[in-house]
Amino acid sequence: MREAQQYPTALTIAGSDSGGGAGMQADIKTMQHFSVFSTNVVVGLTAQNTLGVQGAYPTDPAAIAAQFESVMTDFDIRAAKTGALFDGVRVSEVARNVERFHIKQLVIDPVMVAKGGAPLLDKEGVAAMKRELLPKALLVTPNIPEAELLAGLTIQTEADMAEAAHRIQELGVPNVLVKGGHLEGDEVLNYALLGDDSFVLKGKKVHTARKHGTGDTLSAAITAMLARGISLKQAILIGNDYMNHIVAQPLFIGHGHGPLNQALWPNPNQRFNNTNELDFSCQLVVGLENVGGDRAKLFSLVKEACLAGVTVVQYREKGTVRPSFLEELAVAKVLKEICRKTKTLLFIDDNVDLAIAADADGVHVGQDDASVQSIVKKAPELLIGLSISTMAELEASQAAMPDLAYIGVGPVFKTTTKKDAKPTIGLEGLREIKEAATVPVVAIGGINEERAQAVYQHGADGLAVISAITKSTNIAKTVQRLCKD
Ligand SMILES: Cc1ncc(COP(=O)(O)OP(=O)(O)O)c(N)n1
Ligand SMILES: Cc1nc(C(=O)O)sc1CCOP(=O)(O)O
Ligand SMILES: [Mg+2]
């Protein structure tokens, strides 16, 4: 017996963009974002980047038919969309297959011209689209130039958009969404005509060149929603909302019309605007070395400390017998999951690659570890903590300060936990560094329940401990006493 599909599946029938920003690649990323599995019929290749289209290579019609056959005979395709179809021959081949495989929920993004001005559908293609494809579609989503070509009129106003939508509807497609991004004004107006019902969707115009793939992305979002069983009107509203959201979070990739941020990656440049809201006040630094190599003990200790209120967990392996990278990764992933539940930040000591692989929030490095500059370049999404033990080190690290989440200052007191600890700086040394510091100061080294309040009184914004928690017989009470009164 066939198993039910775990995730809804959709189909994109489009051209490939080697630059990854538009075309089929935009469709796949968008569908993935909406938890819809994307299958593909490649109608042609483009040699393309953010600067323009350098070449277009349509697929053999027999290869288009073969891809349809492969996809439609295996998957339960709930909705499909088209993108660049190149010419009349390809449009006819696509229309023939849509008919053959009874594709009902078809969204047509009538891609005619790329952002840089390169044509992606010839004259016969436009004619074949009107004649053979539009009557088979559920929805068509032209932008202004495409709507002008399909409707045969010039569009300057909302009323023109409405007129164009009605004329396009007469070509046989029941629903039309005219995208008004090309019109003048501070707002983007999209005009929807769904059967007899019409409405206008508004969005703030974002003046950026980083909008490559807008049409593909909106139509892919709508298609994904249809594949999930959402009504067409609701799918359009969700797609429009998603577009407004992602154009405001651009990606800085390539030298021209940059791609949209379909996966909603956080903007690394915005990271430090938010660090003020992050809480570095109570950090547990810990690794297998500190719990006799007992993984279960490590996890239960970290869980208890998180529940008790530590705000940061730093995973630090320093034992003489170090676990392998994969063993450390397995541990770090469990710690990440524990921290996620209590919204506790997870940092990794020294190892940037491990921090990336474990999807940690940050990395803590010492003076002899990877440079702050190299971490920013390699992993701009990571928060960074840097060890400082003298005023001279603080002075020498000034250039790195804008990229730091905090500095770890110590050892404040004598510690037996770190074998190669530097000379102690005492509470007065801590105060001196705090007075010159421009980022939060996290004190470390020999701090325990009895000393915690004095550490705060000498200016520390937070503290980090190993033994005070790993050797505690009452973690909840210890964490409570380590927190600022
Ligand atoms: C919060 C905090 N402060 C200082 C350190 C020490 O880091 P580093 O100087 O890299 O020494 P090792 O931890 O690698 O021995 C820290 N880990 N955390
Ligand atoms: C990991 C570490 N770094 C230090 C520094 O001075 O940079 S002192 C230290 C050890 C902290 O352990 P405990 O809380 O048991 O003294
Ligand atoms: Mg280190």
Q: What is the pLDDT of residues 190-213, one digit of tens each?
A: 999 999 999 999 877 776 677 778
Q: What is the pLDDT of residues 160-189, one digit of tens each?
A: 999 999 999 999 999 999 998 767 777 889
Nearest ligand to residue 420 Cα? 1
Q: How many CB atoms lie within 10 A of CB 359?
A: 13
Q: Which residue is listed with tokens 């053959």? A: 100
Query: Does the pLDDT at position 1 exceed 60?
Result: no
Q: Which of 350, 483, 337, 356 is nearest to 408 (CA)?
A: 350
Q: Which of 456, 452, 17 is nearest to 259 (CA)?
A: 17
Which phi and psi angles does 198 have, rounded to 5°?
-135, 150
Which of 394, 466, 478 maximizes ligand 2 atoms within 8 Å of its Cβ, making it the mutation to test the pocket? 466
pLDDT at 116: 67
Query: Residue 63 is encoded by which pair of tokens?
Result: 């290869």
Q: What is the pLDDT of residues 290-335, one digit of tens each?
A: 999 999 999 999 999 999 999 999 999 997 888 999 999 999 999 9
pLDDT at 272: 46
- Count of CA atoms in the C-beta half-sphere (13 A) of 340: 9
The answer to whether 467 is a known ligand-binding residue is yes
pTM: 0.72
Q: Which residues' Cβ are closer than 6 Å to ligand 1?
A: 283, 285, 314, 316, 318, 349-350, 364-366, 369, 385, 387, 408, 418, 442, 444, 464
> Which residue's C-alpha comes closest to atom 12 of ligand 1?
366
Where do the H-state alpha helices sit in 314-357?
A: 325-342, 352-357
> Which residue's C-alpha comes closest to atom 1 of ligand 1?
408
Which of 313, 375, 387, 430 maximizes ligand 1 atoms within 8 Å of its Cβ, making it the mutation to test the pocket? 387
Least confident window among 31-35, 70-74, 203-207: 203-207
Distance between CA 250 and CA 245 in Å, rounded?
A: 10
Query: Does the pLDDT at position 263 exceed 50?
Result: yes
**Distance (Å) from CA 404 to ligand 1 centroid:** 14
pLDDT at 267: 60
Mean pLDDT for 429-444 is 97
Distance between CA 120 and CA 333 in Å, rounded?
A: 45
Q: What is the DSSP letter of 259?
A: B
Query: Residue 124 is encoded by which pair of tokens?
Result: 């016969």
**Distance (Å) from CA 481 to ligand 3 centroid:** 27
**Distance (Å) from CA 325 to ligand 1 centroid:** 19
Q: Which of 10, 14, 4 is nearest to 35 (CA)?
A: 10
Q: What is the DSSP letter of 8?
A: -
Compute the Cα dihedral for 385, 388, 394, 396 and give only its sign: negative
Distance between CA 107 and CA 117 in Å, rounded?
A: 23
Where do the H-state alpha helices sit in 111-261?
A: 123-128, 144-151, 158-169, 214-227, 232-247
**Domains of the chain from N-terminus onward:** 9-265 (3.40.1190.20), 272-482 (3.20.20.70)
pLDDT at 421: 95
Distance between CA 235 and CA 239 in Å, rounded?
A: 6
b/e map of 289-328 (b: 16 or more CB within 10 Å)? bbbeeeeeebbebbbbbbebbbbbbbbbbbeeeebeeeeb
**Distance (Å) from CA 154 to ligand 2 centroid:** 71
Ligand 2 contacts CB of residue 219 (under 6 A):
no
The answer to whether 387 is a known ligand-binding residue is yes
**Distance (Å) from CA 405 to ligand 2 centroid:** 18
Strands (E), 336-451: 345-349, 362-365, 383-388, 406-409, 441-444
pLDDT at 306: 97
Mean pLDDT for 381-386 is 93
Distance between CA 449 and CA 155 in Å, rounded?
A: 72
> Which residue's C-alpha comes closest to atom 12 of ligand 2?
466
Query: Residue 452 is encoded by which pair of tokens?
Result: 């915690």
Ligand 2 contacts CB of residue 385 (under 6 A):
no
Mean pLDDT for 59-66 is 98
pLDDT at 459: 96
Q: ipTM of the predicted structure?
A: 0.96
Distance between CA 242 and CA 259 in Å, rounded?
A: 15
Residue 258's pLDDT band (cuts 50, 70, 90): confident
Ligand 2 contacts CB of residue 447 (under 6 A):
yes
Mean pLDDT for 60-86 is 97
Do residues 354 and 381 make contact, with C-beta atoms less than 8 angstroms apart? no
Q: Which of 195, 262, 375 is nearest to 12 (CA)?
A: 262
Do residues 260 and 50 make contact, with C-beta atoms less than 8 angstroms apart? no
Q: Which amino acid is at 305?
A: A
Distance between CA 442 and CA 461 in Å, rounded?
A: 6
Which residues lie closer than 8 Å to 261 by C-beta, 6 or more apart? Answer: 246, 249, 250, 251, 267
Query: Does the pLDDT at position 269 exceed 80?
Result: no
The answer to whether 480 is a known ligand-binding residue is no
The answer to whether 73 is a known ligand-binding residue is no
The residues with which 17 forms a beta bridge, in sequence order, are: 46
Least confident window among 167-171, 231-235, 262-266, 462-466: 262-266
CA distance readout (Å), 13 to 2, 226, 338: 26, 16, 42
Q: Which amino acid is at 249?
A: Q
Segment holding 305, helix H or strand E: helix 295-308
pLDDT at 273: 53
Query: Does the pLDDT at position 271 exceed 60?
Result: no
pLDDT at 250: 79
Distance between CA 433 and CA 475 in Å, rounded?
A: 30
pLDDT at 268: 56
Q: What is the DSSP letter of 13?
A: E
Q: What is the pLDDT of residues 333-377, one digit of tens each?
A: 999 999 999 999 999 999 999 999 999 999 999 999 999 999 998
Q: What is the pLDDT of residues 209-255, one digit of tens each?
A: 777 788 899 999 999 999 999 999 999 999 999 998 888 887 888 88
Distance between CA 485 and CA 477 in Å, rounded?
A: 13
The residues with which 464 forms a beta bridge, in sequence order, are: 283, 444
Question: Of all residues in the chain, what percent carry a pLDDT higher than 90?
Answer: 80
Q: Assign 167 to helix, strand or coil.
A: helix
Distance between CA 347 and CA 324 in Å, rounded?
A: 18
Q: What is the mean pLDDT of the chain?
A: 92
Residue 32's pLDDT band (cuts 50, 70, 90): very high
